[in-house]
Structure formats: structure tokens, C-alpha cells
Amino acid sequence: MLSHKKTDSVINVKVEFGEGEGKVPLDNIAKRAEAYKPKERVTYKMIKEYIEAKYGFKVHTAYIAKVKRELGLPMHDAPNAVEELKQPRKHPTAEKAEAIKDALKYFGITKRSDYKRR
């Protein structure tokens, strides 16, 4: 109980599931539930594994972040981020950048403008 107050009124709802008039079909409920199911979160580790399996080379997470920044994709704040870098960031080669872009397409990661605000 979240409150000690008594309710003013009560609404009773009777729902019947199944086939027929006045009943809610179970198939529709399952389809709607599937539509609201959240997508699996794609991690940098998953992207790195995909690139290594498909292209046969490894990429650094900084390269993935660089490509995501260039494409304007959503980024999360890193809890271990530093104010000033000890060394300048290295840029990925064209081959690695294309592999990262391919992996992002494979996982369905799209531009920020495609995300809907909730």
C-alpha cells in the first residue's frame, strides 16, 4: 500500500480472452507485447567481435567512438572520461572506419534524428 487513504470508488473490469464476440484475442496481445519489447543494447564488445569475425582485424573502442561521433550517433557519457588526454587521439584508417560503419548498419544503429523522443 502506498497510501493510508481509503478509495472513493472502485471500478471492476471483466475481460474475457479467446475467440468470439466481446472477447480479446490472445494473438493480438502477444503481437502488441512483442512490439513494445525493448531492443537488445549493442555494446562496443559486440561491434568489435563482429568486425574481427567478418574482416579479420581488431579495432579499438576509441575508433568506434570516433566514427559514431562523425556520424552524429548517440553517445553516452563515459564514467572514466578524463579532462585532458595524455596523447592525441589517433584516427582510424579508412578500411577500419568502413568496417565500423558496416557493423553499425548490421546492428541497426541509426542517426540521432531517427530516435523518437519519449
- Residue 73 inside a domain? The answer is yes
Instruction: Give the global pTM.
Output: 0.61
Number of domains present in the structure of the chain: 1
DSSP classification of residue 72: T
In order of 29, 70, 112, the CA distances from 46 in angstroms are 32, 20, 20
SS3 content of the chain, % helix, strand, coil (to 5): 40, 0, 55
- Residue 77 inside a domain? The answer is yes
pLDDT at residue 14 in the model:
81
- Residue 102 inside a domain? The answer is yes
Q: What's the pLDDT tens digit per position in 2-56?
A: 667 777 788 888 877 777 787 777 777 788 888 888 877 889 999 999 999 999 9
In terms of Cα–Cα distance, which of 104, 76, 83 is closest to 92? 104
- Residue 51 inside a domain? The answer is yes
- Residue 65 inside a domain? The answer is yes
- Residue 22 inside a domain? The answer is no
- Residue 21 inside a domain? The answer is no
pLDDT at residue 111 in the model:
67
Q: What is the DSSP string of 4-59?
A: SSPPS--------BSSSTT-B-HHHHHHHHHHHSPPPPPPHHHHHHHHHHHHS---
pLDDT surpassing 80 at residue 110: no
pLDDT surpassing 50 at residue 83: yes
- 97: containing domain: 44-114
- Residue 11 inside a domain? The answer is no
